[in-house]
Structure 1
């Protein structure tokens, strides 16, 4: 089924690219693009079979995201974020899954995981309040997943959880006015004293050890992979896709470009231009190959029933943040070598340049912290818990 979804996504790519300017103008992905992607089954790739999902190989999901982002960075970003959430919902208690998909298996969720909200322990659950930023694709979602610190009656922090909230219980603030990833509609979410039942929460300490109560009904190996491996790769993959899209447009532009300053020489005959695309393509391919290889390593261990070691999880993060940087470096080099025509509105290159740098500031792409954890672990030091 994944191959049919990928074929359907590829058929949509010209249309998605044509709508890229519209996405920037609207500051959200056009509803028609979301409906088109839904019709291919894309949003069901990581969804449990229990709720009409495909429980697909995550690499197939990432491949689809990469290609979507190669047509429109904002659409790729939102597709990736909305598309990965069904994987986490599958880890929630059955009651929560039923609330999301029982009446409509096409329901979608956005998110904002930074623990900027406060939850107070209450009878049977929690009372949640707060404001969260950067909830990409929130206009296309009926639920939201929010990170929050849990406080007991004495005011002590006792947990860090993800809270699942229906659309009726939160407000979306339209604040997304930015220069990159303009079409993602990454607006703020506001919640005021909403009661969240225990079943609609998931402790990050549980996901950190690859556990969730939903595994009782969703037994696929897919749902035994590390949360942070899948979710941080979800943030890097669109940027890798942008790099592939920028590369394709750069090569096409250079084959048509004549350099007036060099007596009408064809740009494609410039030996330095050939070296630039060789280096850029190697960086992009390396980013993608390492992402795929690392997820495959984790899958192999899960298939054998073995625990995924911290060293591998840290390696996933190492290569994920470096993969983002490699992709951005490639885009920068291609953009700088493309000439003045790449600056024109409507070109993929200038949009990819803006979108990739916007994606770089996401917390999952913070290279220093991820690399420091990897290096410290290699030296035998204990690393602080983090996004691994």
Structure 2
């Protein structure tokens, strides 16, 4: 019965995401040109409840599993990668906010449909003061910052004694400055601007040691028994991210198919591109890569959700494989998009043809530090060879 209920809830959320597709496609060019999401799109995503997928039920959230995240993001991403990416980042940082003490969650989630942005990069410094820490620094690539109320921040805490170490904290956006510096080639609509802290005080209850968090030592009592929180941060983040890439690859496939009946191959005698054997090879190769990407995405989600449901301990190899599955989805998704884009002809470079934007978006994701296929493959191979990981981010 529980499984049936979960499947029904997933289908409803995925259907809600699919129903947003016309609105997302309508605003996709505007997103790209204005380097942020349109307010109408943000409102629609919020009204569909999609920002609350990883919010605990006691605050009106869905406590959705990562398979639901994959399927919802794929629907959003097929229409607009920037919207899917921004929602995915919000799911990760919202989940991270659920690691803090319960009274902190009451503060963060107690005011309705709250959105959380953030990062895992420790590009700020913190110093201890009475009752908390003072943070100074800057964080880049903060997707959704313009539409968020809270940010999860990472800073290096320097105490009078002992070695410096990174801490994870949560701060209201009203305490931070937003810098409009998002001038990029891909994921332009995500509005992943920088934020700055200048002498921001964060009370001690809103500060956690990041090494402990990365090892699964969380501070929430009420969330400790929820399957959603029985997983390490990096596998959760990995499973939360892959749906966007699936969506982009599906969007490339759908765009190619829509244009195919009316396209010729210039300087050949093919009256229709669909008649050319080359096209048959291209479509088959790209579709098989998309199939492979879906396998890795669903295997990753099944691992995270299955471990959470069983409350089973994580093996080092499983944690490394989660990063590898993430990298595989990212690489295969890009390869599928590249094939469709390469087969789309000169007219596809016009800005009103989605394939060029999809190609830029998927390339941007491939450059993300935690999603880069080469980095993730190296980590997986290192662990498979019996060596210790050379990173905390596993």
TM range (shorter): over 0.9
Judging changes above 3 Å, is the alpha-carbon distance between structure 1 residues 239 and 217 closer, same or farther for their aligned structure 2 residues? closer
- Counterpart position of 1:173: 179
- Among residues 55, 59, 63, which one is paired with 2:71 in the alignment? 63
Aligned pairs (5 A) from 1:241-260: 241-260=247-266
Q: 2:169 aligns with which of 140, 154, 163?
A: 163
Paired residues, number: 386
CA deviation digits over 1:317-373, x for unaligned, max 9? 112112201111111111111111211111110000111112222111233332222
RMSD: 1.6
Answer yes or no: is the 8 Å Cα contact 2:156–2:167 preserved in 1.
Answer: yes
- Distance in 2, Cα, partners of 1:280 & 1:342: 17
Structure 2 residue corresponding to 1:25, chosen from 23, 33, 39 = 33
Corresponding residue number in structure 1 for 2:84: 76
Is contact 2:14–2:72 with CA below 8 Å preserved after alignment? yes
What is the correspondence of 1:266-305 to structure 2 with a 5 Å cutoff?
Answer: 266-305=272-311
Q: Which runs of 5+ in 2 are unaligned?
A: 1-8
CA distance in 2, matches of 1:274, 1:202: 54
Q: Is the Cα contact below 8 Å between 2:136 and 2:197 reproduced in 1?
A: yes
Residue in structure 2 matched with residue 115 of structure 1 by the alignment: 122
Q: Secondary structure at the match of 2:312?
A: coil
Q: 2:213 aligns with which of 207, 212, 221?
A: 207
Which residue is equivalent to 1:309?
315
Alignment of 1:305-344 (within 5 A): 305-344=311-350
Residue of structure 2 equivalent to 1:16? 24
Question: 1:79-103 CA distances to partner (integer Å, 9 max, x unpaired)?
Answer: 111233221111111121111122x
Corresponding position of 2:386:
380
| Offset of residue 174 of structure 1 | 0.7
1:184 matched to 2:208? The reply is no
User: How far did residue 217 of structure 1 move?
Assistant: 4.1
Aligned to 1:237: 243
Residue aligned with 1:248, SS:
helix
Alpha-carbon distance change, 298 to 9 in structure 1, aligned in 2, over 3 angstroms: closer
Distance 1:218 1:381 in 2: 31
Give me the whole-angstrom Cα distance separating, in 2, the residues matched to 1:232 and 1:300: 15
Q: Which runs of 5+ in 1 are unaligned?
A: none
Q: State the match for 1:346 in structure 2.
A: 352
CA shift, 1:25, in A, is: 2.0
The answer to whether the 8 A contact 2:231-2:307 is kept is no
1:258 is paired with a residue of what secondary structure? coil
Segments of 4+ in structure 1 off by > 4 A? none
Task: Using structure 1 for the length normalisation, give the TM-score.
Answer: 0.95
Deviations 1:31-50 (A, max 9, x none): 11011011111111111011
Worse-superposed segment, 359-368 or 58-67: 359-368
SS in 1 for 2:123: strand
Moved more, 108-117 or 224-233: 224-233
1:218 CA displacement: 5.2
Using the alignment, how far apart are the partners of 1:353 and 1:214 within structure 2?
40
The separation in 1 between residues aligned to 2:85 and 2:151, in whole angstroms, is: 17
Q: Structure 2: how far apart are the matches of 1:369 and 1:267?
A: 38
Distance 2:333 2:232 in 1: 24
| Contact 2:235 2:323 (8 Å CA) reproduced | yes
Aligned to 1:6: 14
Aligned counterpart, 2:103? 95
* Alpha-carbon distance in 1 for matches of 2:121, 2:168: 10
